Amino acid sequence: MRFVFRWAFRMVLLLAVLLVALVLLKDALLRSFAEHQLRAQTGLDAKIERLQSRLWPAALTLENLKLYNTAEFGGSPLVDLPELHLECEPGALALRKLHFKLVRLRLSEINIVENPQGRTNITAFVRELQDVSSPTRRGLSVGFFDFAGIDVLNLSVGKIRYSNLNRPGKDMDVHVGLKNEILTGIKTLPELSDLILNILFRRGITITRQGERTSITVSPTHEAPAGQNRSQSSSNPSKPDKSAKK
């Protein structure tokens, strides 16, 4: 009988140690899971420097998240996010839906790259998102969950950089300088994309797609740091882009 008690006590200790280890490692495990899901949903390599989670109320904070371009576009970072903070609706999680009460997104840089064939990374990225967000569905599937909207989005954007692999060393930087822009009641990812494009348009920045090519046009009145190109279209620097904004 004494042996049974000793064995049971050791099992309790082992389970306690495993529980403590799980608590200590949960953020590391979640970070690996998040990187895997980002790769699966975007087709791009993803790196997260730090992840912090909270069970109640459900919240997740990712620090220094980077999505990298494929080899076709040089392998440089596509987006650099110093902070992505998510607060979820617990009731929606129980229904396998991702309904965010708050999203705080600090985006320091978007890197648009045109390859030697004239294709841009943004076009390929948007097509990938459209494939997983088909017209027959309201949102994006993430693992076993479906995207179900954002109540409040706090958005900050630093700059947009354009690079042409045919013209190395002649990058164009566009300073956006957007800080704490508040967007509310977002239902779908296409709606979110349209809202962001409208914000950029109001700040004198127009991003358009022409087939496989993405172009940036900057209004001459848009304030840009000294030494930066302010009014050229990325796809054809000698001619302004007059295509309709999509």
Does some domain include residue 239?
A: no
Is residue 201's pLDDT more than 80? yes
pLDDT of residue 98: 83
Does some domain include residue 241?
A: no
Range in 47-51, 117-121, 184-188 the model is least confident about:
117-121
Does some domain include residue 243?
A: no
pLDDT of residue 38: 85
Does some domain include residue 244?
A: no
Does some domain include residue 232?
A: no
User: Span 89-108, mean pLDDT?
Assistant: 86
pLDDT confidence tier of residue 9, bands split at 50, 70 and 90: low
Q: How far apart are CA 142 and CA 33, in angstroms?
A: 11
Please give the single-letter amino acid code of residue 246. Answer: K
Three-state SS for the chain is CHHHHHHHHHHHHHHHHHHHHHHHHHHHHHHHHHHHHHHHHHCCEEEEEEEEEECCCCEEEEEEEEEECCHHHCCCEEEEEEEEEEEECHHHHHCCEEEEEEEEEEEEEEEEEECCCCCEHHHHHHHHHHHHCCCCCCCCEECCEEEEEEEEEEEEEEEEEEEECCCCCCCEEEEEEEEEEEEEEECCHHHHHHHHHHHHHHCCEEEEEECCEEEEEECCCCCCCCCCCCCCCCCCCCCCCCCCCC
pLDDT of residue 231: 33
Bond prior to 77 in cis (omega within 30° of 0): no
pLDDT of residue 114: 87
Is residue 147's pLDDT more than 60? yes
Does some domain include residue 228?
A: no
Total domains in the fold of the chain? 1
Tell me the per-residue pLDDT of 13-49, one tens digit each, with 9 for 90 and over. 555 555 555 556 678 888 898 898 888 878 889 999 9
How many angstroms separate the Cα of 41 from the Cα of each of 63, 102, 156?
19, 22, 23
pLDDT confidence tier of residue 58, bands split at 50, 70 and 90: confident
Is residue 135's pLDDT more than 50? no
pLDDT of residue 223: 46
Chain-centre distance for alpha carbon 63: 12
Does some domain include residue 223?
A: no
Does some domain include residue 240?
A: no
The domain of 114 spans 2-218
Mean pLDDT of the chain: 75
66 phi, psi to nearest 5 deg: -130, 135
Tell me the per-residue pLDDT of 220-243, one tens digit each, with 9 for 90 and over. 545 444 334 333 334 444 344 444
Q: 226 pairs with which residues across the strands? A: none
pLDDT of residue 208: 75
Higher pLDDT, 79 or 129: 79
